[in-house]
Structure 1
Amino acid sequence: MADTTFLHWPFFDAAHRDWAAHVEEVAEALNVDHSDTDAACRQLVTQLGETGVLAPTSSDDGSFDVRKLCLAREVLARHDGLADFAFAMQGLGTGAITLFGTPDQKATWLPKTRAGTAISAFALTEPGSGSDVAANTMTATRDGDAFVLNGEKTWISNGGIADVYTLFARTGEAPGAKGMSAFIVTPDLPGFEVVERLETIAPHPLATLRFSDCRIRASALIGTPGQGFKIAMSVLDVFRATVAAAALGFARRALDEALKRVTTRHVQGAPLFDLQMVQGHIADMALDIDASALLIYRAAWTRDSGAPRITREAAMAKLFATDQAQRVIDKAVQLFGGEGVRSGTTVETLYREIRALRIYEGASDVQKVIIARQAMQSN
C-alpha cells in the first residue's frame, strides 16, 4: 500500500482526501484486458465515466481543481498506466473547450467526455514540429462560413479512436505563434484520415492524422482567430503538473514493489534489505518521491489558489518528477535483478511506461529553458 500521509499536507482539504479515496477504490476494481489497446482504452473511459472519476476533467464554468486532477493521475498511474492515460486525455482533449469554448461548445461535448460516452484528443504536434509549436504549418483557410483544413498531425494520443479532437492550425493573422487558431474537429468529416497508427514501448492509442481540404464550420473555432497558441499554452499550463503526478504514481508503485522485494528476497540467509547499499537505494527512492510530491502539489495548489498561470511551478514539477521517477524505477529494476527485466513484470512495465513522460507535453530540456526564462523574468 502506497504512502498516503502526504494527503494531510496543508495543500489538501477533506474533499481532496475523500476524492483520493474514491479514485483508489475505483482503481482497485478496474479489471480490463490490455491485449487490445484500443478496446481497453474505450472500456477504461467508460468505467471511469460511470464511476464519476472523469468529473474534474472539465467544467462548464471554465475552472479546474488541479489538485483533484493530480491526485487522480497519481492514483490511477500507480495501478494502471493505461487508466491514467484514458483519464488524462479526457481533460487535455477538452481543456481548450473548458477554458475558451462557447456555451454551445461546452454543452455539446463536456457532459459527454465527463460521462465517458465520448473520447477526446488534443491535436497539436506535427511531423516537422514538436516542442516548437510556433513552427506548425497545418493551415485553416477561411472560406465563407467555413474553414478548410490542410496538413498533418502526428503522435496524437487517442488518434483513431477519439470522437472529438481539439486541433490547432495556422490561420495567418500574424507570423509565428500569433497566427494559429484552435478548432473542434470530428472524425466523420470528409477529408479527415488516419494515415498511420503508431506503436510505442508502452502501448497507447497513437496516430498520424491527415487533413485534405477538410471543411469545418466556422462555429468550430474555439476562442478567436489567432488565439490558438495562447489556448494551447493555457491548456498545457494546467495539465503539465498532472504529467508529473502520473510520474509520481509510477514511482510510488516502483517503491512499493521494491520494498516487497527486498523484504522477501534473501541473500546469504538474510533479507536483501539488511544490506546497507540496498537501504541507501530505498532512501534515495523515498526522498525523490517526497520531493516530487512537494513540487507537484505546490504547483497544483498555486493554480487552485487563483494564480492565472503556473508556468514556472508546473515546469519545475514536470522536469523533476519525471526525471526522478525514471531514477526510482531504474533502482527498482536493479533491486529485482533478472526478474526486473522479465517481460510483463510490474517493474518492467513501469520502466517502459515512464520514459514517454519525459518527452510529451514539453520534453525535459524544454522545461529547463522555461525555468531559466522564468527565473530571468523574476530577477
Structure 2
Amino acid sequence: MADQSFLSWPFFEAEHAEMARKLDDWAASELGGIDHGDTDAACRALVAALGKAGWLNHAAVDPAEPDGRLDVRRLCLIRETLARHDGLADFAFAMQGLGTGALSLFGTRAQREEWLPLVRRGEAISAFALTEPASGSDVANSTMTATRDGDDYILNGEKTWISNGGIASVYTLFARSEDMPGAKGLSAFVVPAGLPGFEVSERLETIAPHPLATLRFTECRIPVSAMIGKPGEGFKIAMSVLDVFRSTVAAAALGFARRALDESLDRVRKRHVQGAPLAELQMVQGHIADMALDIDASALLVYRAAWAKDSGAARVTREAAMAKLFSTEQAQKVIDRAVQLHGGDGVRSGAVVERLYREIRALRIYEGASDVQRVIIARQALDAR
C-alpha cells in the first residue's frame, strides 16, 4: 500500500482522510476489471463506474445547493489516488470536473440543472474546449468566433487537442463574441454534442491513449441562453476554472510518482545482484531517497495550493503554478528513475513503470506547459516587489 501518512497533515480535515482511504479501497477492487483495449469504451465505462459509486459528486457542484462549492483538497486527493491506480480513471474523473467547471462556478440555475446532475451520475461526459490550432497557452489569441444573430450565436472555427473530444455529451466552449482585442473579447458557452455544423474533424492519437480530437464548427447555431456568465467574461471564466483544477494536475502527477516509487521499492527488495538485494546498494538507496524527497516536496506544494483555495483565497495562481510545475517535472524524474531501477523490464511494453513513463509526459504540457508556469511564477514574484 502506498504511504498515506500525509493524510494526517494539517492541510486536511478528518473527512478528507476518510474519503481518500475509501476511494483507495474502491479503486483497488473495482478498476482492475475495466478493459482498456478500446480507449473510448474504457472512458465511458470508467465515467459510469465513478458516477455509480458517487465519486463524481465531488467533480461538480450539486445544483440543488445554490452555495455549493468545489472542495479542491477532495479533487486533489481523488486525482492522486486514481492516478496511482489507473491513469485513464484519473483522466475520466478530471474531465468531468474540468469540462463542467465553468457551470459549477458561473452557470445559471437552468444550465446547472440541465447538465450537472447528468455529469455527477456519469450519464453525460463533459469536455473543456479552449485550445485552438494557433493558440494553445496563448488563450487571448483565440480566433474562433461566436457572432450574435437575433436570439442565437453562430459558431465558426476550430478547437484542437480537446480531451473527450468525440465522446463528450457537452462541451464548455470559448469563442470571440465581442469586437474587442485579446482576452476582453472572449465569451464562454455550453454546447451540446450533435448540433448541425458541429463535427469531430479528427481523432488524435498520443503515446498514452486518451480520447482527443479536433472539433470544427461551421455556422453552428446555439441559443443566447447557452452563454455562461456575461459577454466578454470568457477569459476570466477560463482562468478561474484553471485556478481550481491546475492543482489537481499536480496531484495526478503525484499519484503517478507514488506508484513509481511503490513499484521501485518492491523491485529493489526482490531483485538480487551478486547474492544480495538491489536495495543494499548505496547508489540504489540514493535513487530511492531522491524519489521519496521529490514526492514529499510535491505533496506539500499540491496540498498547500488546495488548502489555500479551500480556505477562501480568491486566487491561487502562484501556488497552483508552483505545484503544477514542480510536481509534474519531478514526477517525470521519479518515473525515469523507476524505469532505470527496473532495467530491461522497465521498458517492456505493458509494464507498470513503462505505462507511467508514457502517462506522465503530457502533464508537463496540458493546462499550462511548464515554461508557461515559470512565466506565471516569475511575474507573480516581480509584481510582489
Normalising TM by the smaller chain, what interval? over 0.9
Equivalenced residues, count: 379
Match of 1:319 in 2: 325
Deviation at 1:173, TM superposition (A): 4.0
Mapping of 1:312-351 within 5 angstroms?
312-351=318-357
Alignment of 1:1-379 (within 5 A): 1-28=1-28, 29-30=30-31, 31-59=33-61, 60=63, 61-379=67-385
Q: Is the 8 A contact 1:11 1:297 kept in 2?
A: yes
For residues 84 and 196 of structure 2, the distance between their equivalents in structure 1, rounded to whole angstroms, comes to 40
Give the Cα separation in 2 of the matches to 1:105 and 1:136: 24
Write the letter of the residue equivalent to 2:229. Answer: G
Which stretch has the larger CA shift, 78-87 or 50-59?
Answer: 50-59
User: Would the aligned equivalents of 1:195 and 1:210 in 2 still touch at CA under 8 Å?
Assistant: yes
| Preserved contact between residue 173 and residue 226 of structure 1 (Cα < 8 Å) | no
1:255-276 CA-partner distances (Å, limit 9, x unpaired):
0000000000000000001100
TM-score normalised over the length of structure 2: 0.98
Unpaired segments of 5 or more residues in structure 2?
A: none
Once residues 21 and 133 of structure 1 are traced to their aligned partners in structure 2, the CA distance between those partners, rounded to angstroms, is 38
- Aligned-partner Cα distance in 2 for 1:358–1:98: 26
1:26 match: secondary structure: helix
Distance in 2 separating the partners of 1:230 and 1:253: 35
AA in 2 matched with 1:11: F
CA distance in structure 2 between the partners assigned to 1:62 and 1:90 by the alignment: 17
Three-state SS of the structure 2 residue aligned to 1:214 is strand
Supply the distance in 2 between the matched residues of 1:80 and 1:231 (Cα, whole angstroms). Answer: 30
Amino acid at match of 1:320: F
Distance between the aligned counterparts of 2:69 and 2:183, measured in 1? 25
1 CA distance for matches of 2:257 and 2:191? 36
> Secondary structure of 2:307's match?
helix
User: C-alpha displacement at 1:62, in angstroms?
Assistant: 4.9
Amino acid at match of 1:322: T
| Structure 1 unaligned spans of 5+ | none
C-alpha distance in structure 2 between counterparts of 1:273 and 1:90, whole Å:
41
- 1:126-155 CA distance string (max 9 Å, x none): 001100001110000000000000000000
Distance 1:339 1:98 in 2: 44
After TM superposition, give the deviation of residue 197 of structure 1 in Å: 0.3
User: What one-letter code is carried by the residue in structure 1 that aligns with 2:327?
Assistant: A
TM-score normalised by the chain length of structure 1: 0.99
CA distance in 2, matches of 1:88, 1:188: 23
Letter in 2 for 1:19: M
Q: Once superposed, what is the RMSD of the aligned Cα atoms?
A: 0.6
Q: Aligned partners of 2:371, 2:4: CA distance in 1, in Å?
A: 31
